[in-house]
């Protein structure tokens, strides 16, 4: 009797423990606590670097940045991005996930996140405009469009270690409060080109005028590349050839050489993946290059290297011979770098000429 009573208590105890364990595990599975570091590594580190050191994106781990950035600023910047600049809008992250990322970003600094009063800064925006041309335009662009290129690594003048962000930008203006912009101008950001303007000889009133001027950008904000979808470049160019597969490959090489390219190599689509001799002989890629254009493109934006050398693919599919390439116009959209526009348009026209000559 005594032992059954004991067993009963024991079983109840075990049952309770099990319920607690599995219950809480179940709860964890349903409501996983977002892991800020993991989310940062997944969504941000490719651009902002491991530990916020910077890359295609500006560095985030700077003490002067973390000192002046409010949680709200960080949250809104992640949610809204910077339209027209390379910083994307993270529309599908949940609020808790964004908060977890923000908390993780704060672990790089031991300062407490700043809270700013909502009070707008009152100043004279006309005076601000004059001060802006004199003190800011060289880095942030005459119209606040931001420096050319992005972040710390790409297409920047060598004497400018970090590209100045766009200020006439819907995402920036929605995220930054007047008081935060003011604090940034007063303090500057040590270890970046952005100086403290109190130390540059401006007084508080000048800074208020500058903030009013920046706020006035809201009326004529740059919305980025808001071309209607139907005018956007198609991602691939596909032409049907009226020649046999082998003839088409020869035509393609001839057309590329005719357009001042040098043929680098040709290979079967799955060469190196399939056993030697067993490659798919109906799919071939021709690689070609023009070193002049290549150097021009790399000087503007070294990320173009990801898509070089130029390549065009010929495939025989269901009796048809197709000649295909990515659309070079897409590159300028993709890199969000308007300096590439002219070059990409030129490449697009050259590709069309090559594709036509190959297939007609």
Work out which of 80, 100, 121, 166 binds ligand HEC, going by CB under 6 A: 166
Total residues binding ligand HEC (CB under 6 A): 46
Q: Is 59 in the site for ligand HEC (CB under 6 A)?
A: yes
**String marking each residue 85-104 x if it binds ligand HEC according to CB under 6 A:** xxxx-x----------x---
Other Cβ atoms less than 10 A from the Cβ of 265: the count is 11
Q: Choose one: 60-68, 111-119, 251-259, 313-321; the region binding ligand HEC (CB under 6 A).
A: 60-68
Stretch of 19-27, 55-63, 282-290, 308-316 contacting ligand HEC, by CB under 6 A: 55-63
Is residue 335 within the footprint of ligand HEC (CB under 6 A)?
no
Contact with ligand HEC (CB under 6 A): which of 34, 57, 123, 328?
57
Q: Tell which one of 170, 173, 183, 194 touches ligand HEC (CB under 6 A).
A: 194
Contact 81, 90 (CB under 8 A): yes
Q: Which of 109, 153, 177, 192 binds ligand HEC (CB under 6 A)?
A: 192
Nearer to ligand HEC, 208 or 359 (CB): 208
Using CB under 6 A as the binding rule, whether residue 185 contacts ligand HEC is answered as yes
Could you tell me which stretch among 40-48, 237-245, 266-274, 304-312 binds ligand HEC (CB under 6 A)? 40-48
Taking the least distance from each CB to ligand HEC, the nearer of 184 and 248 is 184
User: Which residues contact ligand HEC by CB under 6 A?
Assistant: 43-44, 46-48, 56-60, 62, 65, 74, 77-78, 82, 85-88, 90, 101, 135-136, 138-140, 146, 150-151, 162-167, 172, 181, 184-185, 189, 192-194, 197, 210
């Amino acid at each position: 009797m005594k032992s059954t009573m004991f067993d009963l208590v024991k079983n109840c105890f075990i049952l309770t423990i099990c319920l607690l364990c599995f219950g809480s595990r179940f709860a964890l599975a349903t409501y996983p606590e977002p892991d800020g570091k993991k989310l940062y590594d997944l969504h941000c580190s490719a651009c902002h670097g491991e530990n916020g050191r910077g890359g295609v994106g500006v560095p985030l781990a700077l003490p002067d940045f973390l000192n002046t950035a409010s949680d709200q600023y960080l949250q809104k910047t992640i949610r809204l991005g910077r339209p027209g600049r390379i910083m994307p809008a993270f529309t599908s992250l949940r609020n808790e996930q964004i908060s977890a990322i923000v908390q993780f970003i704060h672990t790089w600094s031991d300062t407490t996140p700043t809270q700013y009063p909502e009070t707008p800064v009152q100043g004279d925006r006309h005076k601000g405009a004059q001060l802006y041309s004199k003190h800011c335009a060289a880095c942030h662009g005459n119209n606040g469009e931001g420096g050319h290129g992005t972040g710390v690594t790409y297409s920047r003048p060598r004497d400018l270690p970090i590209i100045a962000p766009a200020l006439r930008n819907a995402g920036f203006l929605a995220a930054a409060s007047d008081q935060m912009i003011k604090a940034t101008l007063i303090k500057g950001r040590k270890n970046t080109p952005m100086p403290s303007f109190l130390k540059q000889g401006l007084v508080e009133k000048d800074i208020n005028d500058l903030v009013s001027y920046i706020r006035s950008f809201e009326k004529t904000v740059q919305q980025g590349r808001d071309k209607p979808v139907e005018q956007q470049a198609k991602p691939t160019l596909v032409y049907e050839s009226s020649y046999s597969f082998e003839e088409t490959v020869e035509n393609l090489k001839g057309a590329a050489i005719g357009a001042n390219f040098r043929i680098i190599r040709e290979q079967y689509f799955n060469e190196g993946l399939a056993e030697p001799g067993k490659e798919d002989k109906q799919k071939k890629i021709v690689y070609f290059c023009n070193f002049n254009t290549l150097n021009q493109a790399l000087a503007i934006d070294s990320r173009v290297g990801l898509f070089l050398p130029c390549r065009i693919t010929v495939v025989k599919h269901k009796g048809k011979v197709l000649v295909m390439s990515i659309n070079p116009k897409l590159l300028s959209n993709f890199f969000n770098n308007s300096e590439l526009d002219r070059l990409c348009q030129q490449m697009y026209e050259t590709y069309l000429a090559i594709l036509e000559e190959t297939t007609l």
